[in-house]
Structure 1
Amino acid sequence: MTPLRLSPDLDAAALARAFAAGGQRLHIPGILMAGDADAVEAVLAAERRWKTTVAAGGTFLELPLDGRLAEDPARQAWLDEAAVDGSSPLTQYIFDTRRLTAERDHGTTGGDAADAVLDWLNSEAFIAFARTVTGDDRIDLADAQASRYRPGHVLTSHNDVSPGKNRLYGYVLNFSRDWRADWGGNLVFYGDDGHIQHGWAPAFNALNLFVVPTRHAVTQVASFAARDRLSIVGWLRSNTAIGPQSRGNVKSY
């Protein structure tokens, strides 16, 4: 796979000012060269080796899929019955994942454009870009997982703190075209009063970047959504311990 390329049209200095002015939160459209974004979208849209991951309503599981159904038909009922407990304050989620960093660590990568995103996120060019935009020289590496949110999938409120992971910033790279906000799957941020303070609908070839900890969620994808929400998500991390991060709920993968 040809290495992916950061768009040359981006003004890192201007983005840094916007990131600081926006409370260390920023939406960056057109992050990749157009052809590179198309290649990633094509891989995610055609992918069949997803796993559905569930931590909801007291159920905790991760099952391999064959397309959209459980690879083992005897376990399909487990997925059909998975549901969020709306009365629980705990972080809950249901979505499909392909763990790119874990695949790399275990030598099971496919060498496709999704894997190339992980390489790009850890390239000197992107790390330098991320350090400039955030003003944070502690950024050393990125991890990544592809995600697919189908109708009914959701990730409730959390703040991405995970002890020992040294997470500095969360990111979402979106690869869904022509997404409508009323389809759900929106990345929303909460204020201290519990109200939605800000949010972004998925936008093709856009990077959403935000400091950890930040209380946020992915709203449930509507039953009438016309397509799946495709993205690559993860964290920009430090090789050095960054000290305690204590606000909000703790979510660990």
Structure 2
Amino acid sequence: MSSLRLSPDLDVEALAKAFVAGGQRLHVPGILAAGDADAVEAVLAAERRWKTTVAAGGTYLELPLDGRVAEDPAKQAWLDEAAVDGASPLTQYIFDTRRLTAERGGAGDAADAVLDWLNSPAFIGFARAVTGDDRIDLADAQASRYRPGHVLTSHNDVSPGKNRLYGYVLNFSRDWRADWGGNLVFYGADGHIEHGWVPAFNALNLFVVPTRHAVTQVASFATRDRLSIVGWLRSNTAIGPQSRGDVKTY
């Protein structure tokens, strides 16, 4: 897979102003050049090497999948029975993940190429310009798939020692409807939803850490999966304590 490219139509100065005006949150449509997002979507849609990761209702597990079912049929019941405890204040989640690795001379696929692209001078420079933050040195990433019933409850992305500056979501779901859930929502100090974005194909969502947010549960009647690549923009230098009195996160 050749290198991915930022869209040449992006107005970095305008995006930087919008990032500040939005309270250090930003939605960037059309982030990748034409054709590049299509290649990533095709890989994620065809992928069978997912793992379901669960931290919900006192259950903690990660199980390899064969497509949409447990690779080991004897463990399918573990996935079928996983459920969020609605009374718990802890962060809980159920969704599928796929590891991304560096291409190593072009050996990877279009999803792996995203990891290289996120750590390229072009993207790091873009991220620094938009946020006004020169501490950004690198990005980590994983592919995620939310199927009906999958969810990520309220959390703030703080993880001691990880030096996370900004969270991001690269969306690869086409024609997603808000009714299907899987929406990225942000909470205000009063507990109400302050802002939110519906998954949009080839769009980047970017927000400062810590920010209290969640991915709403994907509805049982959603006709497709929510596909994305997610992670954090990080510093190589310790950034000190981050706290807003948010709920405990895993």
TM range (shorter): over 0.9
Map of 1:122 onto structure 2: 119
Structure 1 residues 5 and 136: CA distance shift in structure 2, 3 A = same
Choose from 198, 221, 232 the match for 1:224: 221
**1:171–1:209 contact (8 Å) kept in structure 2:** yes
Q: Distance in 1 between matches of 2:166 and 2:91?
A: 19
- How many angstroms does 1:101 deviate by? 5.2
**2:103–2:112 contact (8 Å) kept in structure 1:** no
SS of the residue corresponding to residue 199 of structure 2 reads: coil
**1:99–1:146 contact (8 Å) kept in structure 2:** yes
SS of the residue corresponding to residue 103 of structure 1 reads: coil
Structure 1 residues 212 and 123: CA distance shift in structure 2, 3 A = same
Deviation digits for residues 10-56 of structure 1 (CA, Å, limit 9, x no counterpart): 01111000000100000000000120000000000000000000000
How many residues are matched?
248
Q: Distance in 1 between matches of 2:35 and 2:28?
A: 17
**1:54–1:60 contact (8 Å) kept in structure 2:** yes
Alignment gaps of 5+ in structure 1? 105-109
Structure 1 residues 77 and 157: CA distance shift in structure 2, 3 A = same
Map of 1:198 onto structure 2: 195
Structure 1 residues 148 and 161: CA distance shift in structure 2, 3 A = same
Large movers: runs of 4+ above 3 Å: 101-104, 248-253
**1:52–1:95 contact (8 Å) kept in structure 2:** yes
**1:160–1:250 contact (8 Å) kept in structure 2:** no
Task: Give the TM-score of the pair, scaled to structure 2.
Answer: 0.96
Q: Distance in 1 between matches of 2:3 and 2:247?
A: 34
Q: Distance in 2 between matches of 1:77 and 1:212?
A: 36
Q: Distance in 1 between matches of 2:248 and 2:166?
A: 14
SS of the residue corresponding to residue 15 of structure 1 reads: helix
SS of the residue corresponding to residue 102 of structure 1 reads: coil
SS of the residue corresponding to residue 164 of structure 1 reads: coil
- How many angstroms does 1:99 deviate by? 2.2
Map of 2:39 onto structure 1: 39
**1:161–1:250 contact (8 Å) kept in structure 2:** no
SS of the residue corresponding to residue 9 of structure 2 reads: coil
RMSD: 1.5
Deviation digits for residues 180-216 of structure 1 (CA, Å, limit 9, x no counterpart): 0000000000000000000000000000000000000
SS of the residue corresponding to residue 94 of structure 2 reads: strand
**2:90–2:249 contact (8 Å) kept in structure 1:** no
Map of 1:107 onto structure 2: none
Task: Give the TM-score of the pair, scaled to structure 1.
Answer: 0.95
**2:155–2:249 contact (8 Å) kept in structure 1:** no
**2:172–2:200 contact (8 Å) kept in structure 1:** yes
**1:91–1:249 contact (8 Å) kept in structure 2:** no
- How many angstroms does 1:151 deviate by? 0.1
Alignment gaps of 5+ in structure 2? none
**1:157–1:217 contact (8 Å) kept in structure 2:** yes
- How many angstroms does 1:90 deviate by? 0.3
Q: Distance in 1 between matches of 2:115 and 2:94?
A: 23
- How many angstroms does 1:247 deviate by? 1.8
Structure 1 residues 30 and 145: CA distance shift in structure 2, 3 A = same
Q: Distance in 1 between matches of 2:128 and 2:232?
A: 13
Deviation digits for residues 59-99 of structure 1 (CA, Å, limit 9, x no counterpart): 00000000000000000000000000000000000000012
% identity of equivalent residues: 91
